[in-house]
Structure 1
Amino acid sequence: MIGIYLSGTGNTKHCVEKLVNLLDDTARCIPLETPYIINMLENENTMGLFSGDGTGCTARLLKKYGAEILGGLQIKMPDSVCDSKLLKKGIEENRQIVKNADKRIEQTAEQIKRGIYPKEGLSFIAHIKGLFGQRLWFYRKTIYYTDKLKISDSCIGCGLCSKECPMKNIKMKENRAVPGKRCTMCYRCISLCPQKAITLLGKKVQEQCRLEKYE
């Protein structure tokens, strides 16, 4: 078994690794972090943050490439938007969220072993709810964020953001990070910057959201 994921702050990586390792202790998990794959997902409007039915979006996309969809599971994980107070929770509450997610994944793994696959987010009703409840509402608000990444004067030119960006959207020029126009809002650079010099939605980093803080 092979698990694949796109994970900006570690949430999806954690969930995929846990599930496939419970199903197959010889499984391998690999990131699909290439600009081509990310662009393909972004063009299909499947980014989970504002999708509402991210499971269904991804399933429909995979079907177009010949995949057979057996099930879908939607897991609540800690918020990863670092520069907005919206949805922010305390460390203990986020730790409980991760514990609850782990429990659900363990229960799901046992069901799958018995041939029972969850169908979360795959129904027509889920598609309609996600489409009208979130994706269409947020689409016009987020479509222009590809060139809104901001890097302040506190940047020390360490190059970590440039190295870690899966879209290769940040370049180093004269010992300073310079953003491009291909941001997909994964928030990896913002959560990793040692100077908290990078923002996207807000003007200040409220909390650097990395999963390891809550495990």
Structure 2
Amino acid sequence: MKGLGIYFSGTGNTKFLMEKFKEKFDAKGVSVDLQAIDSSENFEDKYDFYIFSAPIYAEFFPKIYVDWVEKNVNISKGKKAILTSTLGSKGTPPALKIMAKILEKKGFEIIIQQEITMPNNWTGEVPSEEKIKESKEITEIKVEKIIEKFFNNEKMIKNPWKLRYWLTLPLVNLMENYLKKWATKNMSVDSNVCIGCKKCEENCPVDNLKVDGNSVNIGKNCVACMRCVNSCPVNAFRIKGKEKEQYKF
């Protein structure tokens, strides 16, 4: 048996989750390959099962992830799948149900559908090292439980409250448009701090940043993944004009 994990990770939470899936499956003699969607558009229908995961941005998966799955994923009927999300709040987000419908139309059988709460790494206060360590331990336990149920073919499907789902569903397009404009309105780069290394430009999953000397031009295609803010080697990005403590998971 061999699986493939297809994921998107802005600042590391989802990447950590997928690496834990790989580690725990490997320990049971099951090989799992990992594929970040911003590193390859290739999809191979050669695996026995698939794991899908991405972070939640205001109730929904990033459009870049949904679009990638819809465009690239095609399988033989009946492949089993684990569908997870990472998020900084509690409760099952509508994103899981929306993605489950997409995957089921493509022929997947969803065995596990589960959100994983992890530290909030957006624009709020950065969690302490103790909180991050605790989150890693809890995530590891949850992954082990998911894998156990998957091996037993025991379905674990978590859906959002119906009211939460129907109230937020009409906001998908509005949220997409808001996030595209969010960066141009709220993000800037301190040219006195920037060293022009182009790391942010090279790492941006939607090619939204262009470095020109010690300044960065921010486009209107942002998905608000915060990768640029948290990976800048000199912390030159500003949110509403203020320096933000970087999140390192």
TM-score class normalised by the smaller sequence: 0.7 to 0.9
- Quote the Cα distance in structure 2 between the aligned partners of 1:59 and 1:135: 18
Cα distance in 2, alignment partners of residues 126 and 197 from structure 1: 40
Instruction: Give TM-score scaled by structure 2 length.
Output: 0.68
Quote the offset at 1:186 in angstroms: 0.7
The Cα of 1:207 is off from its aligned counterpart by 2.2
Paired residue for 1:16?
18
Instruction: Note if 1:84 corresponds to 2:89.
Output: no
Supply the distance in 2 between the matched residues of 1:96 and 1:134 (Cα, whole angstroms).
Answer: 32
Q: Aligned residue pairs: how many?
A: 203
Q: 1:114 aligns with which of 135, 152, 156?
A: 152
- 1:29 deviates by 0.4
Q: Counterpart of 1:147 in structure 2: which amino acid?
A: T
**Residue 3, structure 1, aligned to residue 8, structure 2:** no
| C-alpha separation in 2, matches of 1:146 and 1:203 | 12
Correspondence 1:57-136 to 2 at 5 A: 57-81=98-122, 83-85=123-125, 88-121=126-159, 126-132=161-167, 136=171
Task: Sort the Cα spacing of 1:160 and 1:127 in 2 relative to 1 into closer, same or farther, 3 A.
Answer: farther
Say which structure is richer in helix. 1
The 1:135–1:195 alpha-carbon spacing in structure 2 relative to 1, beyond 3 Å, is farther
Structure 1: runs of 5 or more not aligned: none
Structure having the larger proportion of residues in strand = 2
| Separation in 2, partners of 1:2, 1:66 | 16
Provide closer, same or farther for how the CA distance between residues 142 and 182 of structure 1 changes in structure 2, counting only shifts above 3 A: closer
Comparing 189-198 and 32-41, the one that deviates more: 32-41
Name the SS for the 1:129 alignment partner. Answer: helix
Percent pairwise identity: 24
Q: Do the aligned partners of 1:3 and 1:29 also contact (CA within 8 Å) in 2?
A: yes
34 and 64 in structure 1: CA distance in 2 versus 1, 3 angstrom threshold: farther
Deviation at 1:150, TM superposition (A): 1.8
Contact 1:23 1:113 in 2 (8 A): no
Aligned equivalents of 2:88 and 2:135: distance in 1?
A: 17
Read off the aligned partner of 2:102 and give its amino acid letter: L
Measure, in 1, the Cα distance between the counterparts of 2:12 and 2:103.
22
Structure with higher RCO (Cα < 8 A, 6+ apart): 1
The secondary structure found in structure 2 opposite 1:17 is helix
